[in-house]
Amino acid sequence: MTNQTLQANRPAIIADDVKTTSFRKGSDLSLTLESIFAQEYVLVEGRYSFGLELLHELQLVLKETHPNETFLEQRAYRKAFRFYSHFILLQVKNHLLTVNKSPEIGWLRKLYPEQPDFRLTFPDVQGLNSAWQWYIKGITIPVLRDKIYPYYGVYFPTRFEHLFLFDNWLKYYSGQKKTAIEVGVGSGVLSLQLVKHGFQKVFVTDTNANAIIGLNEMMGETKLSRKIELDYASLFGKWEKETELIVFNPPWLPANQEMEALEQAIYYDENLFPEFFAEAKKRLLPNGKIVLLFSNLAQVTEVTDIHPIEMELAEGGRFQLEKCTRKPVKKASDKTKRDQYWRAVEMVELWVLVHI
């Protein structure tokens, strides 16, 4: 599959005919915030830092009106901030931001080649800027030899405990290594681990077009492109043949709202696990194994008391547990502003299932 066959996901352009008010040096901050809460668009002019100032003031106001202590409260606050902050806009001309002292973001040309002039929300610009730095500079993942270069809109791990669990399991894996399937490849870390540990062929899928485009671009014509085959599809896609190993690092939290593309790497809907296990049953060789990387995050934050893997083992009638290994997560950084009290009891999990 080539990049040309897929259209990359990108932030939506705000139409030119949408009415805006300006926020520039000397603008009344209170009146501007009133416009935002009235769901009216505000165009930042002059300096990039004016937009940062406006976002900061928006955060302060929302924190006064939204409790922000429990996990669910923090989730509600972030949802409100995401909603209102998207009424703050920036102008792009010739693929460059028009405000002074703004970053140069290559995605503005790469993702919008046909449209040099347009408007985006300020948070979308921030996301594009961060993603461009990661894409250009690369990210070091402790379990891999080389950096990864994640494409825009593709989730990549910022915590590594579950990757260490998987790497350690692979060190002692004694089964055949002809093929493996990874469902939901994302930035490709697990598949790269499989190749590192000697798997000859890894078949992968993802419902995020950017994941497929990014990996295709990153692998190019290297040996990796002959070892990892991509399919833009849900669950197992076109991979019908039985395999000795199926790997899945699913989202760790149940969804409670309509999800954006990137959020699908974080939140799962109620059908994901039943459909995965039903399809996995058809594709696993008699002596094959399923490895799932998961967490008790939803339980310790009281989002739900249902553990989908435990439910499958208790009620599915398809698989039995061979092994489950757990590892505590690292304490949250002192720089983290949110109170992540649950990190003290959160555990990442590696589940190995086999046929009954």
Other Cβ atoms closer than 10 A to 90: 22
| Confidence at residue 163, expressed as pLDDT on a 0 to 100 scale | 97
**Rounded (10°) angle between helices 48-65 and 71-85:** 140
The CA distance from 62 to 59, in Å, is 5
| Confidence at residue 73, expressed as pLDDT on a 0 to 100 scale | 84
Dihedral (CA of 142, 143, 148, 154) sign:
negative
Judge if pTM exceeds 0.85. yes
Q: Hey, what amino acid is at 50?
A: F
Among 75, 74, 81, residue whose Cα is nearest residue 60: 81
Q: Hey, what amino acid is at 290?
A: I
The CA distance from 300 to 296, in Å, is 6
Give the chain's domains with CATH numbers.
3-135 (no CATH), 161-355 (3.40.50.150)
| Confidence at residue 264, expressed as pLDDT on a 0 to 100 scale | 54
Structure tokens at 53: 């100032």
| Confidence at residue 318, expressed as pLDDT on a 0 to 100 scale | 97
The secondary structure of residue 120, as a DSSP letter, is E
| Confidence at residue 339, expressed as pLDDT on a 0 to 100 scale | 46
Using an 8 Å Cβ cutoff, are 190 and 140 in contact?
no
Positions of the chain with pLDDT lower than 70, given as ranges:
1-4, 68, 256-265, 331-343
Using an 8 Å Cβ cutoff, are 249 and 268 in contact?
no
DSSP output for 84-111: HHTTEEEEEETTEESSBT----THHHHT
Length of the chain equals 356
Among 216, 234, 213, residue whose Cα is nearest residue 226: 216
Structure tokens at 68: 């922000």
SS3 content of the chain, % helix, strand, coil (to 5): 35, 25, 40
The enclosing H or E element of 153 equals: none
The CA distance from 140 to 162, in Å, is 16
| Confidence at residue 257, expressed as pLDDT on a 0 to 100 scale | 59
Question: Alpha helix (H) ranges present in 112-241?
Answer: 122-137, 161-171, 189-196, 209-219, 224-227
